[in-house]
Amino acid sequence: MAGHAFGGLVQDGDALQAKGDFDGAISNYTKAIGLNQNIAEAYNNRGNAERAKGDLDAAMADYNHALVLQTNYAVAFLDRGNIKGDKDDVDGAIADYDKAIEFKPDFAIAYFNRGNDKFVKGDLDGAIADYSKAIELQPGYTDALFNRRFASIKKGDQVGQASDRVKYLSILSNSPTAYFNSAKLESSFDPDDSILDFSNAVRLNPRYTDAYIDLGYLQYQRSILDNVGADYEQGAKDLNDAITNYSKVIEIQPTDAQAYYFRAEAKRQGRDLAGAIGDFKSAFKVNHDQNFAIMIRTNLATTCCASGYARMRTEDFKGAIADFSDAITVQPDDVYAYSKRGLVKALSGDWDGATADFNQAIAIRANYAEAYCDRALAEVQKGNLSDAMTDWNQALALQPDFAMAYYYRGKLKGQQNDLEGALADFQKAVDLESNDNSAAKPAQDASEDAEIKIKAQEALDKLKQVLRQ
């Protein structure tokens, strides 16, 4: 009768543990042990429930006791090896898996777990051998196939990893998760296969938002490589595909800040600055992660500034001011936005407004040479020539290779009849721009530098002609 009660308590404990009721399971195993303290299975199973609860020390004590009672208990060696792995005792875990295999040579999971710990130790050949044995014992062991593939990748065995990819996906051909996991594994070394696997994941599960996000990201990255290789048609296709996939995520999950953010990045890459700004704003609106918010604000401000600069170049001054103002709203310490908004105001004839923005830029960053240079232009228009000269001198003290400041200071010197000083400044501007590596600069900066070089050369040639007369 007592034996029947013992067995019933253990079985009930097992059932409760399977349901996730670990406290109930532990209670049943403890009652069973109270009836018979010599049965290893009750201690081992209680150890499993304790491990599931996170009480690793209690679990270890139970596994140890189980192995005292039954020294050839392969399952207990396996379970104790697992908990040693939890405690980062990799060598101890491997030793226990060795014992489990010694007493149960066909124990596929023991080979698999030992392979995992050998992988952690960097023994890739040993890990692959153990995964292979697990697969030999259990041919449909997909986790072992997946991990053997990972080890082959780490080892540089492309043939081995490709073979295991085919086997893994042939067994799990209807599993979107399998395709997703495969795609994640290969994304760093074979983006084409990764894109194919992510595509299969969303084919099997059209609402698989994580797969759409990663698929879009790889397509976005590939579009950049396409353009570097001058395959602009494929680059445009990949970029549009990325935007389509991010849009799918937003359709399924309209509050996904990450999807808005990545779609904004893709739109910005495609020169759709207005669309990018709209998506960055949407990302900021629905985001609840403080660290991510910093990234969104930074990129929103950068894109607003790029749009503002483009509008300024087409003399859409109202639109440019709105864009730079948006940048300042999300990033109040953006000196570039203040400086460029000041420049647009100056071009619009609002010299006082321009000076106020330049002052704000300098208040935020006292060593911002460009703001001094731009403020000097406003001071010239307001007739404050001495203040303008002071600002250009300060700009050049902060940035001695500032060709634009030399050019404009040279113009003012020329107006004040300091022709030799003007000549020296124009020459310096030309020399700096001639030696400048504009290819390494953003397009808008390179464009400005090219214009300054032309203007400085024209002014230099004209002044030389005057001095020769």
Query: Can you read off the two tokens belonging to residue 43?
Result: 């201690």
| C-beta of residue 201 within 8 angstroms of C-beta of residue 180 | yes
Domain boundaries, the chain: 174-255, 404-469
pLDDT band at 35 (very low <50, low <70, confident <90, very high): confident
The 10 Å Cβ neighbour count of residue 291 is: 7
What is the predicted pLDDT for the residue at 439? 43
pLDDT band at 438 (very low <50, low <70, confident <90, very high): very low
pLDDT by residue (tens digit) across 87-142?
899 999 999 999 999 999 999 999 999 999 999 999 999 999 999 999 999 999 99
Of 271-275, 297-301, 341-345, 433-437, the range with the lowest mean pLDDT is 433-437
> What is the Cα gyration radius of the chain?
35
What is the predicted pLDDT for the residue at 1? 42
CA distances from 105 to 71, 75, 412 (A): 16, 12, 91
Contacts of residues 187-196 at CB distance under 8 Å and 24 or more positions apart, as own/partner, are 187/214, 187/218, 189/153, 191/218, 191/221, 191/222, 193/165, 194/218, 195/219, 195/222
- Flag whether pLDDT at 468 surpasses 80: no
Instruction: Quickly name the fold that domain 174-255 has.
Output: 1.25.40
| C-beta of residue 62 within 8 angstroms of C-beta of residue 44 | yes
What is the predicted pLDDT for the residue at 188? 84
CA dihedral 276, 278, 281, 282 (to 10 degrees): -110
> Is the dihedral angle over the CA atoms 318, 322, 325, 331 positive or is it negative?
negative
pLDDT by residue (tens digit) across 39-82?
899 899 999 999 999 899 999 999 999 999 999 999 999 999 99
- Give dist(CA 303, CA 174) in Å, integer: 42
What is the predicted pLDDT for the residue at 8? 80
| C-beta of residue 170 within 8 angstroms of C-beta of residue 142 | no
Closest CA to 375 of 397, 391, 363, 352: 391
Q: What are phi and psi of 210, to 5 degrees?
A: -60, -40
- Flag whether pLDDT at 435 surpasses 60: yes
% of the chain exceeding 70 in pLDDT: 95
- Flag whether pLDDT at 469 surpasses 80: no
